[in-house]
Amino acid sequence: MTTPTPFVRKDDFSTSPEKRPSGVDLGGVARRALLPLLILLAWYLAAEARLFPPLLLPSPVRVFGAAAELLETGELAKHAAASLARVVSGFLISAAAALFLAFLFYRRRRWEEGASIVLESLRVVPPLSLVPLLILWLGIGEAPKLAIVVLSSFFPVYLNALSSLRAVEARWREYARAFELTPGECLRHIHVPGAIGGLLTGLRLGFGYAWRALIGSELIAAASGLGYLIEDASSMARTDVVFVGVLTIALLGILCDVLFQKGAEYFEARMRRTKSLTPPVTPPTSQNASHAAASASHKASEHDLPAVRIEMLGKTFPGGTAPFEALTDTFPAGRVTALLGRSGCGKTTLLKIVAGLSAPTAGCVRFERKAGSGAAALRPAIGIVFQSPMLLDWKTVVENVEMGILHVPETERRERALAALDVVGLGERADACPEELSGGMAQRVGFARALARNPEVLLMDEPFGALDALTRTALQRRCRTILAERPMTVLLITHDVREAVRLGDEIRILEAGRLVTEPAVSDPAEREAGLEAAALEERILTRLLGGASLQ
């Protein structure tokens, strides 16, 4: 089965605020402080015992004395501020450039290929080796120092952003096509919130690299900054001041990192937990409710519904696999066609072609309406239910349903989504997060998302395959009720012969690249437990098991 799996994100920022224990973790603070305190003690003892000459290892007392002196004269603050300004401005420039390029390239591999030799060369060349050139081109002012910081922090941001955006884009590509999302909608609703962990990790790493590049940048004819302070003190054999400079860089780096991490956590929580930021779901007004309900329970006239006609349909994948080469059949209008077949025979491939998610290599799909139908020229509205629910975990239940109908005006969208949730019995859970739902509920949300589109053609790819037997039976019954009230042309892919018999008005078996028709049980009331149903089930099972051995 090639249906995409739901996206579960794991990254450096997975410790969301609500999962953290509130209050200060004193144990954690003590654990972190223990090693530095031990080092400080060892340093003090080694210096007092004169294990090394004071020029090599001044005592901590002398270092803190020098720090106090530099603080008093304002020297330390002046140099720290100059360094901080360089790090922040260099980082902002590099982050802006890196994010711009990552967003430009993540869907355009050819553009990235065009720039790849230049970018790769820059990535492997140590920025400090460019110092002579930078001085030559940019002089000895601030520009070359900034350039070193920018070059050092660019790649962590760029590479993390590019790879996380690409991973999210690939994972949700079919989803985006199935619901006809525009590139802007994909970016806003899926790619940025989905990749936010990777984006923030890259920014954090980049900021760390900017600090590390600082000293190198301040070796270039600087008259201020912690790098300059260290260099100047070193030339005057003031090791204590060198220590002050290095410790200040470490402290400022850690402080910036903590602030950055807190800010990133807050930002990520805002981006991903839209639930807490969007107004709570309010019940529709009575007038709108009736309109929405009418819309959700939109009952397409059976006369208008299209049949799905496939003609000489063939698909050959680039590797040479060809599940079928010339399929011809009609899935009748307003009826449920259950499609069975052994694993790997091409059921999902066929459904994707009908959905327009994959192009056939031969033949075509046509949606045929009865002559005289008012909607003869229209492409039908298609709803797709994937095997897994494919819910965006940064959106609430109702927002997930809305993703299927983003083309609908905002005022109507919420009402239609709520009405569709009502149809699947989840109106009360509209404001819940996907992670709060059971597997069956999540699948019903996926069903509601397809129903909200008022589909004339409903394509379902093993929609109940991952559920336990009880939930599956309950959902099959609900599905049958919904389909009885709202006729649609349905193509249902399933591995479950009983499901095919229960739900199918038509039954097809895809075997050896051919579609074989099995006569379904004509009376829906008999499909659940009638003798005819049992005999049909047995016959289909025998047919499926009688083929080649399972792979």
Ligand X SMILES: Nc1ncnc2c1ncn2[C@@H]1O[C@H](COP(=O)(O)OP(=O)(O)OP(=O)(O)O)[C@@H](O)[C@H]1O
Q: Give the residues lining the site for ligand X (CB under 6 A).
A: 1-2, 317, 319, 321, 323, 341, 343-349
Min CB(353)–ligand X separation in Å = 10
Min CB(544)–ligand X separation in Å = 11
Helix (H) or strand (E) holding 391: none
Number of H helices, E strands in the chain: 20, 9
Give 239 or 349: the residue with its C-beta nearer to ligand X: 349
Min CB(480)–ligand X separation in Å = 23
Give 124 or 359: the residue with its C-beta nearer to ligand X: 359
Give 194 or 346: the residue with its C-beta nearer to ligand X: 346
Give 242 or 540: the residue with its C-beta nearer to ligand X: 540
Which residues lie across from 507 on neighbouring strands? 338, 518
Min CB(383)–ligand X separation in Å = 19
Give 339 or 437: the residue with its C-beta nearer to ligand X: 339
Min CB(517)–ligand X separation in Å = 18
Min CB(173)–ligand X separation in Å = 12
Q: At what angle do helices 469-485 and 439-451 cross, to 10 degrees?
A: 20
| Under 8 Å between Cβ of 482 and 312 | no
Give 220 or 357: the residue with its C-beta nearer to ligand X: 357
Min CB(105)–ligand X separation in Å = 23
Min CB(320)–ligand X separation in Å = 9
* DSSP conformational letter for 18: G
What end-to-end distance do the CA atoms of the chain give, in Å? 13
Min CB(358)–ligand X separation in Å = 8
* DSSP conformational letter for 52: S
Closest listed residue to residue 262, CA positions, set 4, 431, 8, 16 = 16
| Under 8 Å between Cβ of 412 and 400 | no
Helices (H), 139-225: 142-171, 173-178, 183-186, 192-217
Give 189 or 347: the residue with its C-beta nearer to ligand X: 347
CB closest to ligand X, residue no: 1
Min CB(356)–ligand X separation in Å = 16
Give 301 or 361: the residue with its C-beta nearer to ligand X: 361
Min CB(380)–ligand X separation in Å = 22
What distance in Å separates the CA atoms of residue 42 and residue 253, rounded to the nearest whole number? 23
Give 73 or 321: the residue with its C-beta nearer to ligand X: 321
Give 60 or 504: the residue with its C-beta nearer to ligand X: 504
Sign of CA dihedral 296, 298, 299, 302: negative
What distance in Å separates the CA atoms of residue 4 and residue 543, rounded to the nearest whole number? 29
Give 1 or 252: the residue with its C-beta nearer to ligand X: 1
What distance in Å separates the CA atoms of residue 453 and residue 356, rounded to the nearest whole number? 16
Min CB(497)–ligand X separation in Å = 13
| Under 8 Å between Cβ of 156 and 202 | yes
| Under 8 Å between Cβ of 225 and 211 | no
Closest listed residue to residue 492, CA positions, set 500, 484, 501 = 500
Residues 368-372: contacts with CB under 8 Å, at least 24 apart: 368/306, 368/307, 368/308, 368/309, 368/330, 368/333, 369/304, 369/305, 369/306, 369/307, 369/333, 370/303, 370/304, 370/333
Give 2 or 5: the residue with its C-beta nearer to ligand X: 2
Give 285 or 321: the residue with its C-beta nearer to ligand X: 321
Percent of residues in the chain assigned helix, strand, coil, to nearest 5: 60, 10, 30
Min CB(204)–ligand X separation in Å = 36
| Under 8 Å between Cβ of 214 and 84 | no
Phi, psi of 506 (to 5 degrees): -135, 145
Sign of CA dihedral 76, 78, 82, 87: positive
